[in-house]
Amino acid sequence: MPNSIFDEFFQAEARMFLLATIRIALAEDGSDLTSLGLFSESDMAQAMIVAKQDTVVAGLPIIPMVLEFGGDQCQTHLNVDDGERVSAGTMVAAVRGPAIQLLKTERVIMNFLCHLSGIVNLTAQYVEALKGTKTQLLDTRKTLPGLRFPEKYAVLAGGGKNHRLTLSDMLMLKDNHIDRAGSIAQAVSALLHAHSPCPPIEVECRTIEEVEEASQCEIQRIMLDNMDTETIRTALGIIPGTIETELSGNVSLENIRELAELGPGYISVGKLTHSAPSSDFSMQFVPLS
């Protein structure tokens, strides 16, 4: 994924949230008394950021954004694009600037890069497992507070798709909504009357009876939640072709291919963001060139 996609994704609200998160991350660290006690403001340094494992990479364009909070003296060179797979030992980026600034920002940069690369790496594995099927991989809103946009960007960089960035992108009727509203039909009718134009509506179904009811409503998508294989097969046979289908719940790398071969349009996987293991990178200081 070329880094220009990063700029396209992080516009307006998304960029505002990312900058706010960077600002908080730097503020959490407080003043770097160690570096301030060892180096003068004029001491310049250079460092390489190196992958310590084979991984797909995401979050590199965040590096200069972090460094810019300390002024305009730092320079960043990105050697690869987000979404690119690299081998252990690859230098993915180089930075140059005041030693105090590089040391102050080192851990914040590494935290973003390791976490987002972990998400893109896991996403790419799921995408590979779906290759050859018609099913598309979706993320969920199971993201860390404050990191919604970076994490969902990493899913895109890994070849997945975003389910919805905010609650207003798609109106999703989950079990609590339906139980409180009285029925699926009542809930859908209320939404269609409350919003004009009404955003797309998705209904989460737990039983075949709910699938039958939802299939009669004016909605865009039905999610089959935590159903076994035979129930999914039955449900997919009921849903008309005019309504999109999504599977969710208990999806893993081991069973996603089998689920995709049942024919759903989408499979959503919360693990992409809430359980992806971090990739390993390090920042290594080198002599000034």
Look up 161 and say whether it is catalytic. no
Q: How far apart are CA 102 and CA 105, in angstroms?
A: 5
Catalytic annotation, pick one of 82, 84, 139, 204? 204
Nearest to 264, CA basis, from 154, 136, 177, 119: 136
In DSSP notation, 185-213 reads HHHHHHHHHH-SSPPPEEEEE-SHHHHHH
Catalytic annotation, pick one of 202, 210, 225, 246? 225
Kindly state the helix (H) or strand (E) to which residue 177 belongs, with its residue range: helix 175-181
Catalytic annotation, pick one of 15, 85, 107, 271? 107
Could you tell me how many helices (H) and strands (E) the chain has, helices first?
A: 12, 12
Helix (H, G, I), strand (E, B) or coil at 29: helix
Catalytic annotation, pick one of 15, 142, 161, 206? 142
Cis preceding-peptide flag for 98 (omega within 30 of 0): no
Catalytic annotation, pick one of 52, 134, 174, 233? 174
Look up 131 and say whether it is catalytic. no
Look up 221 and say whether it is catalytic. no
Q: Which residues are catalytic?
A: 107, 142, 174, 204, 225
